[in-house]
Structure 1
Amino acid sequence: MQQKLYYPAGSDQLRNDLMLQVLYLVHDLSDPAVRRRVVMLQAGGAVVSLAGFRRSLEPVAEVAGVAPIDLGRTGDGRFAQRLAAVVQAAWTLKAALRHVARPDVIIGRNLEMLALANRARAIFSADVPIVYECLDVHRLLLRQDLAGKAIRSAERALGRNAALLITSSPAFIRQYFEPFGQAGMPVELVENKVLELGQEPGRTIRPAPVPVADEPWKIGWFGALRCRRSLELLSEFSRLMEGRVEIILRGRPAYTEFEDFDGFVAAEPFMQFHGAYRNPEDLPRIYGEVHFSWAIDFFEEGQNSNWLLPNRLYEGCRHQCVPIAMQGTETAQFLKALDIGFLLARPDADALVALFDQLDGEQYESARARVAAQDRSTWICNEDDCRALVGRLRALVPVRGHSVVRVAA
């Protein structure tokens, strides 16, 4: 028989005390993916305290209703500066966390925050479990020189106190954590699915209509825009198509990876950049304006880019956009298993031209119908998934605390 917690009338503080207390340490408070994870933890029944660095110029006032503790600003690609910031934060962390309730679980989002999670554990209690959240395997971790070996050694040492590893793609386990001996803890796969809370299961998806007459096909490249090769490839392709295909860009460009992103896009006749968007609030609208989602990333080709399952894969398919991916990647393997999407054999504009030269409305509708036919749970995370994640975290916590009256359902 299912058991429920019983809270006496007026016992909001007791109920709050009984909820899982999570300290979430993040590398970028301004990252929309951090907001999504905070919301997911809250929806699962956790109280979240948030601290971390930021990449934005201005401080972040709140994240999903949580006032974060700002540990300072760091920069993309500035690894020496980030290391110095972590060292500085470690010295001042006790003071920074002085008003934070003792957590039940500490989550460190990526390696630098795993280091601070270990420091926070020493501040609060040695029996607080640490969770290592690793959603990308940076190229520095894969180097075979002394620097790479030193970083992996540091990761193993910091991971000894971790009770759980959260990652988003099984390829990260197969290609990195297991062969390099970095995964000494249990693993929880949490894919980059679209967070949908309180949504009706049958809510209407309005995909973009098939072009008629001289209207163009539209490819959407949304999210973290960091791949210069994708930008150049889509530029060349759209020019070759002479207006029959348009490229729509939305999200946050990694300006350190481009010589002049804004100038480049402004000079393109068939490419547009529409800036940042809210996730998940804006997803139905922006994906409803394009026919295809660009699920290709050459940023760390042969390594992280080949192994990840990106946010845009789930977002696009949830809204019935047909994904375009590269053969030989984890994304391609994922799509092949479902028999959906289009896969490029070669990473060049000619391969894209060949795909679109043979594409007509009927073929596209068939491809989109196969995407639409997939179970929605393939693409979305709902309240049950949030509760399951928090339940997994709760299982890590040593037995201690309150006396709770239980009543049968």
Structure 2
Amino acid sequence: MKPLEDVRIIAIEQYGAGPFGSVHLADLGAEVIKIEEPRSGGDVGRYVPPYGEGEDSLFFETFNRNKRSLSLDLSTDAGRRVFEDLVKVSDVVYSNLRGDVPKKIGITYDDLKHLNPAIVCCSLTGFGMTGPRSKEPGYDYVLQGLAGWMDLTGEPDGPPTKSGLSLVDYSGGFVAAISLLAGLHAARRDGVGMDCDVSLYDTAIGLLTYPAVWHLNEGFTPERTRHSAHPSLVPFQAFQASDGWFIVGCAKEKFWTRLASVIGHPEWAEPESGFGSFADRRRNKDKLIPLLEEIFRKRTVDEWLEDLYAASIPCGPINNVEQAMNEEHTRARGLRVKTEHPRFGTVEQLASPVRVGSEPPEYRRAPRRNEDFDLVVREIVGYDDATVEELRAGGAFGDAPFGDDAPADTEPEAASR
């Protein structure tokens, strides 16, 4: 069996953070059933430009492979009935909504424990379910500013800068997945479920790590550093060669000794040079860094990396996305995978970095909207035809296509590495 093959998750999720957290669980074998609100056309991620058509987008494919989709209107009594019947046969209710919404729509543990005492209710929200900001929507860009990240990022004389990736969203997804699995473990051990109150804000603050601890205890004020330099280790930053940029870092004294030799100045590793220790180099960085920059500009990136790799000094090129995708190590680790899609044909995806055991996961494309209607309502919940029609008439499933009207998929489900 796959590691999470015996886990069923009801996912009331959309866009990035929530689906990113659950996609790794789906890759590990969990049955993740996406609940898509039919009146709004389901997950908004289906419509994110520029690479999409109709209800299919490459954005949606990125975050929703290996999942199932059910269109369900929870605002109707009929839709609520279906949801509650699903709760009875599931392990987790997972959502990414505004902090006050889980209680409003009745998906917290207190709302559902009478249906399934062991249900785990994991809510990934912008600001958490308590506190003065709990009713505010949370967006990665806003949170990077609010949590101090942007003040730390960029050149010293430049504007505050957002990370090139939505790292609060993605880190929040990982934190939610960890919380969900911990809650599930405890529920199976004790027979009692719980709420997992996870937030993007908590995640962003937690990721301030040691600079925040330095500030809280020693009054340290973080400052932006030139060329992405490490705040305390010198040298550890980006340097410009004759044809591009690369990173070199001396996180241990032995690396500095080796670097000094590679650049033709072994004497700089001696105490009398003023550069012989971590403390010396940090104190004299305004003298040392310009010397290193002058040296590194004399050769190409590849020439420097060849010598630095040979000396086992931490280093690497500053790749663009294309170069990163074509790195030999990217391919060797099986990080590029393929799925088949009825509209896009073969889609290249990124493998989950979560690895459990020796068997590689299989990758199936993201579901079309409401594609798994029959699987969920007939096989998992066990409704007969009469019940389905009654629920349909009650507005449970909205106007989404289902059954014989669902999009056909004639492509193979499993993916290859």
- In the superposition, the TM-score normalised over structure 1's length comes to 0.33
Structure ranking higher in strand proportion: 1
Larger radius of gyration: 2
